Amino acid sequence: MSVYVSQIQVCPSSSVSRHSFLELVQIWYNRHKERTQLRYLDDRLLSDVGLSRDQVKTEISKPFWAA
C-alpha cells in the first residue's frame, strides 16, 4: 500500500520510501522553523522581504504540513 503525502510517495517496506519519508519530515521541520522565525521579524524587515504583517499572520497560522 502506498500513501501520497505532499507529492512524496511513502511505502513503509522500501528503503527508498524511508529516505523519502525522512525528506518529508525535514521539509515539515524547516517549514515550522521558518514560520516561527517569521513571527519575530519586525515591520522593517518584513517590508524588506516584501511581506505585510497580515501575510505573516496568515502564513504562521498554517499547520507545518501545509505548504
Cell of 5: 503525502
Mean pLDDT, residues 3-23 = 64
- Per residue in 52-64, is it b (16+ CB within 10 Å) or e — as a string? eeeebeeeeeeee
Summarize pLDDT for 14-66 with one digit per residue, the tens.
Answer: 566 887 999 999 999 999 999 999 999 999 999 999 999 999 999 999 999 99
5, β-bridge pairs: 8
Q: 23 lies in which domain range?
A: 3-60
Residue 33 lies in a domain: yes
pTM of the model: 0.67
Half-sphere exposure for 43 (CA within 13 Å, toward CB): 2
Domain count, the chain: 1
**Is 19 among the domain residues?**
yes
DSSP 62: S
